[in-house]
Each structure stands twice: as C-alpha cells, then as structure tokens.
Structure 1
Amino acid sequence: MVAEGSVERIKAIKDRYQDELLRKKNVVGLGIGYKEVGGRRTDRLSLVVMVRRKEPRSQLDPQDIIPAEIEGVAVDVKEVGEIVAL
C-alpha cells in the first residue's frame, strides 16, 4: 500500500504504466483521485483508470483485465463513457 498522500509516487506509477493501461479494452484515460467504493469516496488515494463502459471480468480477455493494485497502489476503475475533444 502506498503511503497516504503520496501523489508523487502515484504519478510516477501512472507514468510507468500509462502505455500498458491505455492499450486495454475500453480504457480512455488515467488520473489520480480518491478511491470510491459503493459510490462513496474513501480517503485512500488511487490510480484512476477511466473506461468507456465497465464490463464483467468474465467477458474480458486476460490482457484487458485491470488489476486491483499496481505496485501497492489501489486502482479505481470509473466508467466515464466516450470522451470527445471539442
């Protein structure tokens, strides 16, 4: 687990894994934020992976599964829909 408040560490991990994560099905972006559980924000910082649509793990190819943690940092998958530049 990452030390609470270590935005710099999470940013470094995000930068290291960015290319790999963005190649996964439905992934449209990455960020840093507080993990949400059951629609409620926790006080745990996480690597946020934004996807067009959440899908059950059983419907994903193994290479498209997003891990729950990366290098001890929580990963929060958020469904955001299609992102379009204006």
Structure 2
Amino acid sequence: MNQEADNQDLKSTTEHIMSVMQAHKGELLSKPNVVGVAVGFQQIDGESTQTLALVVMVDHKVPQNLLKPEQQIPAMIEDVPIDVQEIGKISAY
C-alpha cells in the first residue's frame, strides 16, 4: 500500500471508532472508575501498539472478577477493540 492509501485507512478507522465512541460513551462513562473515553493506540504492557482502539480511561483498574457483569467493560464494541488504561484521578488546577 502507498502512503496515501495508508492515511485514508487510518482516517476511516479513526472515524469509525469515533462514531462507536459517541454512540457508547454515556454507557461507558457510567461505569465505576471510568473518567474518560478517547480514540488512541492500544497499549500492551505499557507500550503503544499500532492498533487503534477505543480507549477507556479509569482512575484505577479493578479485577474483572470483583465487578458485577453490568460494571464490566467489554473487550470489543461493534468490532472495535477496547483498551482500558489506568490514568489516575483527573483534577483541574
């Protein structure tokens, strides 16, 4: 693929993830510890990958088995990977 095609694919993927984010952000933000949602690159062991994902930012991670089913964040929504990233508390100065 050439650079222009790669850029178009990235733009299309980003727009799709943004659409999914807009459709589901209210539901995601209502879950415990969720402080934000964004489009970003998935992280594995703290390292960014080349995979775009819907990033769900939490103040702290909680093991899945300690959450009720309705509190859990799915691994995928509408074929979009979800990456839960711990960022701590957000505060304005």
State TM-score, norm by structure 2: 0.85
Runs of 4+ in structure 1 deviating by more than 3 angstroms, as ranges, are: none
Distance (whole Å) between structure 1 residues aligned to residue 60 and residue 46 of structure 2:
16
Correspondence 1:22-61 to 2 at 5 A: 22-61=29-68
**Shift of the alpha carbon at 1:33?**
0.5
2:18, 2:77 → 1: CA distance?
Answer: 12
Residue 84 of structure 1 pairs with residue 91 of structure 2: yes
More helix per residue: 1 or 2?
A: 2
**Fraction of identical pairs, as percent:** 42
Question: Which residue in the other structure is 2:77 paired with?
Answer: 70
What runs of 5+ residues in structure 1 fail to find an aligned partner?
A: none
What RMSD, in angstroms, separates the aligned Cα atoms of the two structures?
Answer: 0.9
Shift, 1:45, TM fit = 0.2
Larger radius of gyration, structure 1 or 2? 2
TM-score by length of 1: 0.92
Higher RCO (CA 8 Å, separation ≥ 6 residues): 1
Gaps of 5+ in 2: 1-8
Q: CA deviation at 1:37?
A: 1.0
The number of residue pairs the alignment matches comes to 83
